[in-house]
């Protein structure tokens, strides 16, 4: 179902005009209300009046994650605190988190955006939706919650942890749609299998996954293990949280709510804007956010934008599923390696659990990469040759995809640490 | 007939995993009759013949080990020079490939040695060996030795 036909199926010319009008106003607003942006524009000798529409966007400087961090906690809020009704914060793995603030109107917008993405993923008011995202500073839980409530589904706010209990709820409450990270969905599937639960008795039909990059092959695994339709949705707290974009059931990319955000793709090295169909770093400008507007925010996520019409009827631009980040990229002996490439190779080989870890270290001046993969129990034949053949096959495929020599180590099931949230795929022991 | 049920256990080369297998089996009163380990620097396969293979299989499985059952044959080799060579010659002559072999450790009071063979086609191997007068020992006997 299309939740907001007017905005999701708008004529593209009309959308561009709407974006231009909103851009002009948000630039004036941040200039007036946020000292950081005023200084940034002044440094670049830009006056708000220079920005007359979308075509002037590339004149504006980028905003980086560091800038957001430097203004911790509330320095970039564009409204006084008495207008801010809620704050969330990113899970900063290092140092202070990035704090974002929402006005009442922002929360309404957010719920609308979620209602759009869950509708396009096939959720209806008849669904029973289990939200396995944390409810807290993280935007995932609350974000999905209010949008699903707006749509009118029955929500099970299960939050994270206690997987057996999650599965019990799923069985007893008749969950039809699961909201979680993709890695948690795979982990749950393993536990369901171990508990000997008959999947035929579960009512689960949809999975809405986000909050971490995941590959197409991981989607296939999730779909076949659960027997569900799995869609991707995308967002980051700096922009609004989940709801920035989501897949429709055509699986031709994630529709971006362009009436609220202008997406761009840039060359991450030079900062030059790239065209539709070109691979680069995603950049977003918020058009309607009151509490925490951001201008040309560099996401570090790698994607492609398309603007051709989608068979679902929506006209909004689509972004390619994010499978890597510019800062996920490992440089091994001068070669760029993305964990998602390794994941794709592993998922293509029968007999491997989709559980792996990449360990990088440096001996002397040489980088070494080891990929540890768990053996799937049923695939063990007892033959030494079969195991060696498996290792060689993985090694061969990785070498041909990555063009570097990789060490492969088969490990026992359950020996790699499981995550209930985001997966820790890379351990980099190099001190660079 | 004549086949022996061997358990093969996948072991990551981490200290303590082998000890864990023997401990779990010991706690469940399962005796190991024969044992062999093949390993690389990364992983190993432990091959064991025990008095109660089915029980041992279930126990190891429930303890989270990657374990599988493998058919092998046990051959009684006369304790005299060239005893093993004769058996190998028979197998080679009949074009039966040996994947691996190891000696049985359980039996100490006879003059003969038991050797465990893993071959591609166990049934054929048993037939061939018997027609050449080699003594093939059945699983039931091996488990209780
Ligand atoms: Zn579509």
| Facing A375 at nearest CB: one of B10, B70, B99 | B10
More confidently predicted of A107 and B105 = A107
Per-residue pLDDT band at A213 (split at 50, 70, 90): confident
**Structural domain of residue A345, as residue ranges?**
335-428
Per-residue pLDDT band at A92 (split at 50, 70, 90): low
| Facing B66 at nearest CB: one of A375, A384, A388 | A375
Distance CA A222, CA A239 (A): 28
Q: Which residues pair with A377 in a beta bridge?
A: none
Q: Tell me, which fold does domain B3-70 have in CATH?
A: VC0802-like (3.30.2130)
Searching chain B, which residue's CA lies closest to the CA of residue A415?
A: B12
3-state helix, strand, coil in chain B (%, to 5): 35, 35, 30
Residue B106 has pLDDT above 60, yes or no: no
Tokens, residue A37: 């942006």
Output DSSP code: residue A305: E
Q: What's the CATH number where A248 sits?
A: 3.40.50.12780
Stretch A297-309: mean pLDDT, rounded? 95
For residue B38, the chain A residues in CB contact (below 8 A) are: 384
What residue spans define the domains of chain B?
A: 3-70, 71-144
Beta strands A254-256 and A318-319, pairing class: antiparallel
Stretch A157-161: mean pLDDT, rounded? 92
Stretch A256-269: mean pLDDT, rounded? 96
Residue A93 has pLDDT above 60, yes or no: no
What pLDDT score was predicted for residue B58?
A: 95
Q: Counting Cβ atoms within 10 Å, is residue A359 exposed (0-12), middle (13-18) or buried (19+)?
A: middle
What pLDDT score was predicted for residue A40?
A: 96
Distance CA A110, CA A367 (A): 44
Stretch A52-72: mean pLDDT, rounded? 94
* A177 and A95 assigned to the same domain: yes
Q: What's the CATH number where A356 sits?
A: 3.30.300.30
Q: Decide which of A327, A350, A384 is a domain's last residue.
A: A327
pTM of the model: 0.74
| Facing B42 at nearest CB: one of A381, A382, A409 | A409
Q: Decide which of A327, A344, A379 is a domain's last residue.
A: A327
* A300 and A355 assigned to the same domain: no
- C-beta of residue A268 within 8 angstroms of C-beta of residue A285: no
ipTM of this predicted structure: 0.82
Tokens, residue A272: 């030059």
A25 touches chain B (CB under 8 A): no
Residue B113 has pLDDT above 70, yes or no: yes
DSSP letter string over A175-228?
Answer: --EEEE-HHHHHHHHHHHHHTT--GGG----EEEE-SS---HHHHHHHHHHHTS
pLDDT per position as a tens digit, B10-44: 998 777 888 999 999 999 999 998 889 888 777 88
- Cβ–Cβ contacts within 10 Å for residue A417, how many? 9
What pLDDT score was predicted for residue B40?
A: 77
Residue A421 has pLDDT above 70, yes or no: no
What percent of chain A lies above the pLDDT cut of 70?
97
* A107 and A204 assigned to the same domain: yes
Angle between helices A139-151 and A104-120 (to 10 degrees): 70
What pLDDT score was predicted for residue A295?
A: 98
Cβ contact (<8 Å) for B45 and A413?
A: no
Distance CA A88, CA A74 (A): 11
Please indicate whether the domains covering B3-70 and B71-144 agree at the CATH topology level. Answer: yes
Q: Which of A146-155, A287-296, B29-38 has the lowest mean pLDDT?
A: B29-38
Beta strands A206-209 and A229-236, pairing class: parallel
What pLDDT score was predicted for residue A429?
A: 85
Per-residue pLDDT band at B139 (split at 50, 70, 90): confident
What percent of chain B lies above the pLDDT cut of 90?
52
Q: Please tell me which of A94-103, A104-113, B1-10 the model is most confident about, judged by mean pLDDT.
A: A104-113
Q: Omega into A269 within 30° of 0, i.e. cis? A: no
Tokens, residue A146: 């209010």
Q: Please tell me which of A165-179, A182-196, A363-377 the model is most confident about, judged by mean pLDDT.
A: A165-179
Q: Which of A69-73, A293-297, A401-405, B30-34 has the lowest mean pLDDT?
A: A401-405
- C-beta of residue A299 within 8 angstroms of C-beta of residue A327: no
How far off is chain B from A409, nearest CA to CA, in Å?
6
Nearest to A212 by CA among A274, A135, A133: A133
More confidently predicted of A429 and A132 = A132
DSSP letter string over B30-62?
Answer: --EEEEEEEE-SSEEEEEEEES-HHHHHHHHHH
Per-residue pLDDT band at B108 (split at 50, 70, 90): low
| Facing B10 at nearest CB: one of A380, A409, A414 | A380
Q: Counting Cβ atoms within 10 Å, is residue A308 exposed (0-12), middle (13-18) or buried (19+)?
A: exposed
Output DSSP code: residue A61: P
Cβ contact (<8 Å) for A415 and B65?
A: no
**Mean pLDDT (chain A, rounded):** 92
Q: Tell me, which fold does domain B71-144 have in CATH?
A: VC0802-like (3.30.2130)
A380 touches chain B (CB under 8 A): yes
**Mean pLDDT (chain B, rounded):** 87
| CA distances, A360 to each of A45, A198, A240, A254, A369 (Å) | 44, 40, 34, 32, 5
pLDDT per position as a tens digit, B52-94: 999 999 999 988 899 999 999 999 887 778 888 989 999 999 8
What pLDDT score was predicted for residue A346?
A: 86
* A267 and A354 assigned to the same domain: no
What pLDDT score was predicted for residue A350?
A: 75
* A218 and A291 assigned to the same domain: yes
* A201 and A272 assigned to the same domain: yes
Mutation pick from B41, B68, B72 vs chain A, by most beta carbons of A within 10 Å, is B68
What pLDDT score was predicted for residue A420?
A: 57
What pLDDT score was predicted for residue A340?
A: 81
* A412 and A276 assigned to the same domain: no
What pLDDT score was predicted for residue A143?
A: 97
Give CB contacts under 8 A, 24+ apart, made by B32-36: B33/B104, B33/B105, B33/B106, B33/B142, B33/B143, B33/B145, B34/B102, B34/B103, B34/B104, B34/B105, B34/B106, B34/B114, B34/B116, B34/B142, B35/B105, B36/B100, B36/B102, B36/B116
| CA distances, B99 to each of A386, B71, B122 (Å) | 12, 12, 11
- C-beta of residue A399 within 8 angstroms of C-beta of residue A406: yes
Q: Decide which of A327, A343, A378 is a domain's last residue.
A: A327
């Amino acid at each position: 179902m299309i939740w907001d036909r007017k905005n999701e199926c708008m004529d593209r010319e009309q959308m561009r005009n709407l974006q231009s009008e909103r851009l002009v106003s948000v630039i004036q607003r941040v200039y007036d209300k946020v000292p950081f942006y005023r200084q940034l524009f002044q440094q670049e000798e830009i006056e708000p009046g220079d920005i007359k529409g979308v075509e002037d966007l590339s004149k504006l400087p980028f905003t980086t994650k560091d800038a957001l961090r430097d203004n911790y906690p509330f320095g970039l809020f564009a409204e006084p605190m008495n207008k801010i009704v809620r704050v969330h914060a990113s899970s900063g793995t290092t140092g202070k988190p990035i704090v974002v603030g929402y006005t009442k109107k922002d929360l309404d917008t957010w719920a609308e955006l979620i209602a759009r993405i869950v509708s396009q993923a096939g959720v209806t008011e008849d669904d029973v939706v289990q939200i396995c995202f944390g409810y807290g500073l993280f935007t995932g839980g609350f974000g999905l919650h209010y949008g699903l409530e707006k749509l009118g589904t029955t929500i099970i706010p299960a939050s994270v942890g206690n997987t057996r209990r999650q599965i019990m709820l799923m069985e007893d409450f008749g969950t039809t749609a699961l909201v979680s990270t993709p890695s948690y969905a795979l982990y749950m599937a393993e536990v369901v299998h171990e508990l000997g639960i008959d999947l035929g008795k579960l009512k689960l039909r949809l999975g809405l996954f986000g909050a971490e990059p995941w590959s197409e092959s991981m989607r296939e695994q999730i779909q076949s293990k659960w027997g569900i339709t799995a869609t991707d949705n995308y967002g980051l707290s700096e922009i609004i949280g989940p709801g920035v974009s989501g897949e429709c059931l055509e699986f031709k990319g994630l529709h971006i709510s362009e009436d609220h955000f202008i997406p761009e793709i840039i060359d991450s090295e030079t900062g030059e804007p790239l065209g539709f169909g070109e691979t680069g770093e995603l950049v977003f400008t918020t058009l309607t956010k009151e509490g925490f507007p951001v201008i040309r925010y560099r996401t570090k996520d790698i994607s492609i934008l398309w603007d051709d019409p989608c068979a679902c009827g929506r006209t909004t631009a689509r972004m390619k599923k994010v499978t890597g980040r510019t800062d996920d990229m490992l440089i091994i002996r001068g070669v760029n390696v993305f964990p998602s490439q390794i994941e794709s190779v592993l998922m293509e080989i029968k007999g491997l659990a989709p559980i792996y870890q990449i360990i990088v270290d440096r001996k002397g001046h040489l980088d070494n990469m080891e990929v540890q993969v768990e053996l799937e129990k049923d695939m063990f034949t007892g033959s030494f040759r079969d195991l060696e053949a498996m290792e060689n096959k993985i090694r061969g495929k990785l070498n041909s995809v990555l063009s570097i020599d990789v060490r492969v180590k088969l490990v026992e099931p359950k020996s790699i640490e499981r995550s209930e949230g985001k997966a820790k795929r890379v351990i980099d022991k190099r001190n660079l | 007939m004549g086949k022996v049920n061997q358990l093969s256990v996948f072991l990551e080369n981490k200290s303590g995993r082998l000890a864990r297998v023997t401990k779990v089996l010991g706690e469940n009163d399962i005796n190991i009759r024969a044992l062999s380990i093949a390993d690389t620097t990364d992983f190993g396969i432990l091959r064991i013949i025990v008095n109660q293979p089915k029980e041992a299989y279930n126990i190891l499985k429930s303890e989270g080990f990657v374990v599988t059952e493998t058919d092998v044959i046990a051959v009684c080799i006369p304790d005299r020079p060239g005893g093993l060579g004769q058996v190998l010659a028979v197998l080679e002559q009949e074009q039966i490939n040996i994947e691996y072999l190891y000696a049985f450790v359980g039996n100490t009071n006879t003059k003969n040695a038991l050797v465990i063979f893993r071959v591609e086609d166990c049934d054929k191997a048993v037939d061939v060996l018997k027609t050449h007068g080699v003594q093939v020992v059945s699983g039931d006997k091996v488990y209780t030795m």
